[in-house]
């Protein structure tokens, strides 16, 4: 069964069970400044999961086109893609766990034809501290379904998935209990960070077993939520059955909801028994075309061909949505995707006409399911081809500049420095890896330490200008590692200390947070004195070592920025509701900011290894704006 058939069968399957098929949301949501693209099927339906009545009823289904670019560097393996389709169904206060788990299991086995003996399920292990019991109901439903197929389904209690990597799995185990890092849903992550007033609850994820051959030992012992490669998640069923009260405790909801999302590409891979989504009908025609125009086979060139196929498929969908490559937000993402595809295609020997050759193959995949793509094909080719040609010209200019750098007046050769390599990338858009290859091909030499020099210049450039894929929906974080999250919370404390020392007129003008340091821009036109820096450091460290709670809540925007007293750096970009993070007590907080998160749960996490906050640099950023760089060390 191919991807288009699975998509159609899912919608028909759900409609037969009383679900109304609703139109999917556009890839770029209107009036939503918190995200670049629609990234899940649940995202546009959130108001209805929060209690608003849907005109189509209490049972809904759709197939949502999604784009997620935060994991763009992971594309190249067998399972990551930037564009995907999410099969979705929802129960708004109607059916619950029994009907949901059974219908998804029946869809996978009876409609798609998956082997039930290779399906595994996960459930929530419970949280005694917060009075949330383990989800034995879901586990028992799964056991009953497997028993009906004559399959043994023992239960394993893993808890933390990373700890489970050391434990692996035992014969007969098929249902796995994990903690809130894996099997709890809220809009702010785990149980303790669930917003006040929000619906939340356990989820039951479904995995497909691709066998020992797909296991990657470097990622630990295999079990469903591990990273071993043997198991791939193909669907997640969220059971919204609780609400967090003002005192932080949880109470049962009177109307319980179901939110289901299943990855079409991954289910299609399971249907043909391959862990490689690029072998499915949703990618294979693009790969075949790349093999033809490159004269190379997919085997042996998988990483490059996957990147090209994924990035161009996403770019076609974005062009069909009306976007064009540019230097801002969604357009910047599109430009980055096209240029990365062109660059990877060049490594395959494809030196021209990439767009012209591949767009028809991509449009052909969706000709029946999304017929507007075929009608827009000429426009799509024109938009993307213009970017391809512009980038190829950029590459030519970069090569000419490289030749100039390699010689001095008398014709003698010189070594290419890391600073030279960065200039080629920053000014001419000539990527580092291509520069290094061309230096070798031209018989030039690289200076000793060229990579370190390049990295220093790149770090400085990133501090000057962040890409559109960073920070718009991550609060300025480069990723979500533990250190980034710690620094994110420390940045709130830094902003609060600046306002306390310099006055309430100080406002944040931007931030960039990595795993190495904080960088925060703020409105001020004078250099900080040594005394002011020392006072700011003390205020932040006092808050860190006071072991204060960090609490997430959600409020109407006007209330949050008004009566509640929260600060917010980007008022004109907020929607009707915002998340607010409070550090300290509710009555007398040290910091209260509008922010998308994520954050630590207590400031003790900022000094768990004895770290202290330290300002390492303070400088001018622009007229009337100063910049502080700081670390926890």
Q: Is residue 16 part of a domain?
A: yes
DSSP state, 34?
Answer: T
- The pTM of the full predicted model, rounded to 2 decimals, is 0.69
Helix, strand, or coil here: 18?
coil
Q: Is residue 473 part of a domain?
A: no
Do residues 412 and 544 both lie within one domain?
no
Do residues 426 and 396 both lie within one domain?
no
Altogether, the residues listed in the chain come to a count of 633
Do residues 392 and 412 both lie within one domain?
no
Predicted local distance difference test score (pLDDT) of residue 555: 84
Residue pair 532/497 in contact by the 8 Å Cβ criterion: no
Do residues 93 and 122 both lie within one domain?
yes
Segment 458-498, tens digit of pLDDT = 877 656 544 633 433 333 333 445 787 899 899 999 999 99
Q: Is residue 351 part of a domain?
A: yes
Residue pair 583/489 in contact by the 8 Å Cβ criterion: yes
End of a domain among 441, 467, 493? Answer: 467
d(CA 7, CA 86): 9
CATH number for position 611? 3.30.980.10
d(CA 366, CA 268): 15
Q: How far is CA 214 from the centre of its chain?
A: 24
**What φ, ψ does residue 283 adopt, rounded to 5°?**
-135, -30
Predicted local distance difference test score (pLDDT) of residue 572: 47
For residue 591, what are the β-bridge partners? 583
Do residues 156 and 22 both lie within one domain?
yes
Which residues have a Cβ under 8 Å from the Cβ of 470 and sit 6 or more positions away? Answer: 476, 477, 478, 512
Residue-by-residue DSSP string for 99-148: HHHHHHHHIIIIIS---GGGEEEEEE--BGGGTB---HHHHHHHHHHHHH
Number of domains comprising the chain:
4
Residue pair 171/223 in contact by the 8 Å Cβ criterion: no
Helix, strand, or coil here: 61?
strand
Do residues 312 and 381 both lie within one domain?
yes
Predicted local distance difference test score (pLDDT) of residue 479: 42
Domain that holds residue 555: 482-632
d(CA 527, CA 406): 42
Q: Is residue 278 part of a domain?
A: no
| Token pair recorded at residue 226 | 């591990």
Do residues 87 and 230 both lie within one domain?
yes
Predicted local distance difference test score (pLDDT) of residue 175: 98
**Residue ranges of the chain whose pLDDT lies below 50:** 409, 465-466, 468-480, 572
d(CA 326, CA 324): 6
Q: Is residue 476 part of a domain?
A: no
End of a domain among 400, 435, 452? Answer: 400
Residue pair 438/347 in contact by the 8 Å Cβ criterion: no
Predicted local distance difference test score (pLDDT) of residue 410: 52
Q: Is residue 264 part of a domain?
A: yes
- The DSSP H or E segment spanning 20 is strand 20-21
Do residues 444 and 487 both lie within one domain?
no
Q: Is residue 604 part of a domain?
A: yes
594 CB-side CA count, 13 A: 26
Do residues 351 and 321 both lie within one domain?
yes
Do residues 141 and 48 both lie within one domain?
yes
Q: Is residue 45 part of a domain?
A: yes
Predicted local distance difference test score (pLDDT) of residue 298: 96
Do residues 413 and 385 both lie within one domain?
no
Do residues 396 and 534 both lie within one domain?
no
Query: In three state form, how does the secondary structure of 147-209 look?
Result: HHCCCCCEEEEEECHHHHHHHCCCCCEEEEEECHHHHEECCCCCCCCCCECCEEEEEEEEEEE
Q: Provide the angle, in degrees to the nearest 10, between the axes of the packed helices 377-405 and 432-441.
A: 50
d(CA 453, CA 378): 44
End of a domain among 345, 379, 400? Answer: 400
**What φ, ψ does residue 191 adopt, rounded to 5°?**
-60, -50
């Amino acid at each position: 069964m191919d991807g288009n058939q699975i998509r159609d069968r899912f919608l028909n399957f759900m409609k037969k069970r009383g679900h109304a098929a609703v139109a999917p949301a556009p890839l770029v949501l209107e009036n939503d400044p918190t995200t670049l693209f629609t990234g899940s099927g649940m995202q546009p339906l959130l108001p209805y999961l929060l209690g608003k009545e849907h005109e189509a009823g209490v049972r809904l289904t759709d197939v949502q086109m999604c784009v997620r670019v935060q994991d763009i560097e992971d594309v190249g393996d067998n399972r990551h893609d930037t564009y995907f389709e999410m099969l979705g169904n929802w129960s708004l206060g109607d059916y619950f766990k029994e009907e949901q788990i059974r219908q998804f299991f029946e869809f996978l086995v009876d409609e798609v034809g998956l082997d039930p003996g290779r399906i595994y399920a996960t459930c929530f292990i419970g949280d005694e501290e917060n009075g949330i019991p383990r989800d034995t109901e879901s586990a028992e439903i799964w056991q009953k379904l497997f028993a009906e197929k004559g399959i043994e389904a023992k239960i394993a209690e893993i808890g933390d998935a990373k700890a489970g990597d050391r434990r692996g799995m035992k014969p007969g185990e098929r249902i796995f209990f994990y903690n809130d890092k894996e099997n709890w849903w809220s809009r702010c992550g785990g149980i303790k960070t669930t917003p006040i007033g929000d619906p939340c609850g356990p989820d039951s994820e479904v995995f497909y077993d691709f066998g020992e051959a797909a296991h990657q030992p470097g990622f630990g012992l295999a079990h469903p939520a591990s990273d071993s490669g043997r198991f791939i998640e193909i669907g997640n069923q969220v059971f919204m059955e609780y609400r967090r009260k003002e005192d932080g405790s949880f109470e049962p909801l009177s109307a319980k909801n179901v939110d289901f999302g299943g990855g079409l590409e991954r289910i299609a891979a399971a249907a043909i028994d391959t862990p490689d989504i690029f072998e499915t009908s949703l990618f294979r025609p693009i790969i075949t075309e790349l093999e033809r125009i490159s004269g190379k086979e997919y085997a042996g060139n998988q990483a490059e061909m996957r990147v090209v196929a994924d990035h161009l498929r996403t770019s076609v969908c974005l062009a069909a949505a009306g976007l064009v490559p540019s230097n801002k937000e969604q357009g910047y993402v599109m430009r980055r995707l096209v240029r990365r595809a062109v660059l990877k295609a060049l490594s395959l020997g494809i030196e021209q006409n990439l767009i012209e050759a591949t767009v028809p193959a991509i449009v052909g995949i969706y000709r029946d399911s999304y017929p507007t793509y075929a009608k827009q094909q000429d426009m799509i080719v024109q938009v993307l081809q213009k970017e391809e040609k512009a980038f190829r010209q950029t590459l030519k200019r970069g090569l000419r500049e490289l030749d100039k750098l390699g010689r001095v007046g008398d014709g003698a050769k010189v070594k290419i420095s890391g600073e030279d390599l960065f200039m080629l990338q920053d000014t001419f858009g000539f990527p580092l890896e291509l520069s290094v290859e061309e230096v070798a091909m031209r018989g030039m030499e690289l200076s000793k330490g060229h990579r370190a020099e390049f990295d220093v210049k790149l770090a400085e450039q990133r501090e000057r200008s962040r890409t559109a894929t960073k920070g718009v929906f991550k609060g300025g974080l480069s990723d979500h590692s533990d250190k980034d999250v710690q620094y994110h919370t420390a940045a709130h404390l830094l902003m609060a200390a600046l306002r306390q020392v310099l006055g309430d007129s100080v406002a944040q003008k931007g931030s960039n947070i990595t795993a190495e340091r904080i960088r925060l821009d703020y409105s001020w036109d004078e250099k900080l004195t040594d005394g002011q820096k020392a006072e700011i450091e003390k205020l932040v460290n006092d808050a860190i070592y006071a072991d204060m709670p960090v609490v997430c809540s959600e409020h109407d925007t006007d209330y949050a920025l008004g009566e509640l007293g929260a600060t917010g750096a980007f008022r004109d970009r907020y929607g009707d509701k915002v998340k607010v993070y409070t550090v300290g007590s509710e009555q007398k907080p040290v910091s209260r900011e509008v922010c998308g998160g994520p954050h630590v749960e207590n400031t003790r996490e900022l000094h768990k290894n004895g770290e202290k906050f330290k300002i390492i640099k303070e400088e001018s950023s622009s007229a009337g704006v100063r910049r502080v760089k700081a670390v926890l060390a």
